[in-house]
C-alpha cells in the first residue's frame, strides 16, 4: 500500500503533458495477439495494470518486452487459451483477451475479471456478440469458457447499450471473422477510434469510425504496426480539476481539448478561465474568488459528460457556492469517494446513483482511503482545497497503485507540496520473524510459470491423469492444492500486491 500526504491551499503553476491513456493501451496490448507481425506501442507508462497485462501475455505464450519507453511484441509460435486466475482477478481489462485468444487458439477460459469496485459490470454483451459470430459459450461459476469449431462468421449485431469494452471485443473478433460484420449502437469514445486506427494500420478494413455503426470486412490478414496510443483525456481532466480546486495557472499540452470538452465546459461554468490553442489548454483561477455551484450533471456514454470525470467534478463542487447534483447512468457505485469527502468536512449525500453536494464546504485535512482509481484522484483534488495537511491518502486497492506511482512526477511539474511513500515488501502472513521478505514480482512470475506447466500437462496430453508423468502430475496436484487453500480466484493478486 502507498500513501500520499498533501499540503492544501497551495496554488499550482506549470505545464504538464498527459501520458498514453491506460484505457487505450490495455486493449491494444490484447489486440497485438491478432497480428502476424511485430508491433510496437510507443511511450507506454509504467502502470500496475500494464505490468499485469504483460504478465498475462507472457502466461498465454506471447512474446512481449519493454524497449525503453515502448512495448514490443512478436508473433507467438503457440498460444494457450487459459488465462490464470490471479491475473484475471487483478484487472478488469483481462476481458479484452476473450476475442483474440478465441480467434487464435480456438478456445479461451477466463475467470471473472477484477478491477475497480464500481458496481455490476456485466460481460453479457461481449458474450452475446461472440455467440452470434459462432462461438460456443459455457458459464461455469466463476469462469466463462468460449470455443469455436470453425472460423467465426460475420454478423449484423446490435449492442443493447454502447459499451466501450464490448465494442472493442467485437471489433477484434470481427477482424478475424469471415465476411462482413455490422455493429450497431457501438460506443463512440476516443479510445474506440484509437483501436480502429491500430487495427487499420495492421491491415483491417473498418468503416464508420466516430459513428454508432461500424462495418468490418473480416478475414483479412493482420500484420504488425507501430502505434502511439492516444493521450489520457481523463488524466488531463484530473489535472484540470486539481487546478480548479487549488487555484493558480497551468497548461495541459499534447491532449486534444475536444476529447475532454464536456469537462472543460463544466469548469468554465464554475468560473475557471479556460483557453484553448491547438492541442494545449491553459487554465487559470484566482483562489480568492469562490467557484460557482448549482450544476446539474449527468454522466453517460460519449459524447455526454464522461463517467470517469464525475468524481472529479464532485471534488470541484465541494466548496462552490450553491447546491449541485451529479447522476451517473453507467456505474452504480461511482461515488464511493463520498465517504472521503465527508471525512474532509463536506456534507454530501449519495442516493443510489446520485450525489448531492450542498456546496460551500470548508474542507480540512484528514486520513482518507482511495476506494477506486478515479475516486482516489477526486480525493486528491479535494485535498488541494483543504486547510492544512491531508495526513495520509492511502492508495488502495492495488489497481490504484500505478496512479499513485505517477503522481509524484506530476507534483514535481506543477508543483504540488506533498510527500509520497511507497509501501515496502513485507513477509506474508505466517512468516517467522527475521525471515527474508517474499517479493511480489517473483511470486507472480512463479505462479504464472506453474500455471503454464499445468496447462500444458492437462491440455496437450490425451492420456488420463494417472498416465501423466510423475513430475507433471505433481505440478498439477500442487497448483490445484494452492488454488484451493489460498482461494486464488482473483484474491491472490490482491493479497500479494497489498504488501508491495
Segment 305-339, tens digit of pLDDT: 999 999 999 999 999 999 999 999 998 899 999 99
pLDDT at 24: 97
pLDDT at 2: 72
pLDDT at 37: 95
423-474 per-position pLDDT tens digit? 432 322 222 223 233 334 445 556 656 666 665 555 554 344 444 555 555 5
Report the percent of the chain where pLDDT is more than 90: 67
**Which residue positions in the chain have pLDDT lower than 50?**
115-120, 395-405, 408, 418-442, 461-467, 483-500
Which CA distances in Å does 148 have to 104, 107, 130? 10, 6, 10
Instruction: Please choose, from the candidates 378, 376, 331, the residue with its C-alpha nearest in 3D space to the C-alpha of residue 352.
Output: 331
Q: What is the DSSP string of 453-464?
A: HHHHHHHS--S-
- Beta partners for residue 39, in sequence order: 73
Length of the chain: 500
Where do the DSSP E strands lie in 329-462? 349-351, 354-357, 367-370, 389-395, 418-421
Residues with Cβ within 8 Å of residue 110, at least 6 apart in sequence: 83, 88, 94, 95, 97, 98, 143, 144, 145
21-43 per-position pLDDT tens digit? 999 999 999 999 999 999 999 99
Q: Reply yes or no on whether 116 is catalytic.
A: yes
The torsion angles phi and psi of 381, rounded to 5 degrees, stand at: -60, -45
pTM comes to 0.80
CB atoms within 10 A of CB 499: 19
pLDDT at 74: 94
Own/partner contacts of 484-488, CB < 8 Å, gap of 24 or more, are 488/85, 488/86, 488/89
CB atoms within 10 A of CB 443: 17
pLDDT at 369: 87
87-112 per-position pLDDT tens digit? 998 888 999 999 999 999 999 999 87
Write down the residue that cell numbers 479510445 correspond to.
191
337-353 per-position pLDDT tens digit? 999 999 999 999 999 99
Please state whether 257 falls in left (phi above 0), alpha (psi between -120 and 50) or beta: alpha
- Measure CA 421 to chain center: 23
Q: Among the options 116, 245, 337, 348, which is catalytic?
A: 116
pLDDT at 384: 92
Which CA distances in Å does 199 have to 1, 100, 216, 226, 486? 37, 12, 11, 11, 39
Amino acid at each position: 500500500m502507498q500513501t500520499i500526504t498533501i499540503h492544501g491551499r497551495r496554488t499550482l503553476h506549470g505545464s504538464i503533458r498527459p501520458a498514453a491513456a491506460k484505457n487505450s493501451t490495455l486493449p491494444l496490448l490484447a489486440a497485438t495477439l491478432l497480428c502476424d507481425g511485430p508491433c510496437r506501442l510507443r511511450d507506454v507508462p509504467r502502470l500496475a495494470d500494464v505490468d499485469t497485462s504483460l504478465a498475462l501475455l507472457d502466461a498465454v505464450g506471447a512474446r512481449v518486452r519493454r524497449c525503453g519507453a515502448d512495448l514490443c511484441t512478436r508473433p507467438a509460435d503457440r498460444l494457450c487459451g487459459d488465462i490464470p486466475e490471479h491475473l484475471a482477478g487483478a484487472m478488469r481489462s483481462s476481458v479484452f483477451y476473450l476475442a483474440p485468444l478465441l480467434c487464435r487458439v480456438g478456445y479461451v477460459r477466463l475467470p471473472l475479471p477484477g478491477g475497480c469496485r464500481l458496481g455490476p459490470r456485466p460481460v453479457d454483451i461481449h458474450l452475446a456478440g461472440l455467440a452470434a459470430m459462432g462461438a460456443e459459450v459455457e458459464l461455469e461459476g466463476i469462469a466463462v469458457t468460449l470455443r469455436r469449431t470453425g472460423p467465426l462468421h460475420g454478423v449484423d449485431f446490435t449492442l443493447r447499450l454502447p459499451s466501450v469494452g464490448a465494442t472493442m471485443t467485437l471489433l477484434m473478433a470481427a477482424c478475424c471473422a469471415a465476411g462482413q460484420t455490422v455493429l450497431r449502437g457501438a460506443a463512440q469514445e476516443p479510445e474506440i477510434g484509437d483501436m480502429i486506427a491500430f487495427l487499420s494500420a495492421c491491415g483491417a478494413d473498418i468503416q464508420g469510425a466516430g459513428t454508432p455503426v461500424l462495418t468490418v470486412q473480416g478475414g483479412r490478414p493482420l500484420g504488425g504496426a507501430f502505434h502511439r496510443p492516444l493521450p489520457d483525456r481523463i488524466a488531463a481532466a484530473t489535472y484540470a480539476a486539481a487546478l480548479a480546486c487549488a487555484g493558480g495557472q497551468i497548461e495541459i499540452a499534447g491532449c486534444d481539448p475536444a476529447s475532454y470538452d464536456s469537462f472543460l465546459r463544466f469548469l468554465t461554468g464554475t468560473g475557471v478561465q479556460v483557453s484553448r490553442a491547438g492541442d494545449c489548454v491553459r487554465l487559470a483561477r484566482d483562489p480568492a474568488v469562490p467557484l460557482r455551484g448549482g450544476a446539474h450533471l449527468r454522466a453517460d456514454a460519449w459524447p455526454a459528460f464522461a463517467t470517469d470525470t464525475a468524481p472529479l467534478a464532485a471534488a470541484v463542487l465541494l466548496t462552490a457556492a450553491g447546491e449541485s447534483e451529479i447522476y451517473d447512468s453507467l456505474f452504480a457505485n461511482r461515488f464511493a469517494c463520498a465517504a472521503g469527502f465527508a471525512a474532509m468536512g463536506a456534507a454530501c449525500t449519495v442516493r443510489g446513483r446520485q450525489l448531492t453536494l450542498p456546496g460551500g464546504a470548508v474542507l480540512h485535512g484528514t486520513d482518507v482511503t482511495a476506494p477506486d482509481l478515479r475516486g482516489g484522484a477526486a480525493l486528491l483534488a479535494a485535498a488541494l482545497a483543504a486547510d492544512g495537511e491531508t495526513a495520509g491518502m492511502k492508495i488502495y486497492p492495488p489497481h490504484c497503485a500505478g496512479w499513485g506511482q505517477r503522481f509524484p512526477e506530476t507534483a514535481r511539474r506543477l508543483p504540488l507540496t506533498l510527500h509520497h511513500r511507497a509501501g515496502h515488501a513485507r513477509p506474508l502472513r505466517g512468516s517467522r520473524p527475521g525471515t527474508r521478505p517474499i517479493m511480489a514480482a517473483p511470486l507472480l512470475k512463479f505462479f504464472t510459470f506453474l500455471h503454464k506447466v499445468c496447462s500444458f500437462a492437462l491440455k496437450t496430453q490425451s492420456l488420463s491423469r494417472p498416465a501423466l508423468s510423475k513430475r507433471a502430475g505433481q505440478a498439477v496436484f500442487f497448483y490445484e492444492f494452492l488454488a484451493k487453500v489460498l482461494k486464488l480466484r482473483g484474491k491472490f493478486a490482491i493479497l500479494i500486491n497489498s504488501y508491495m
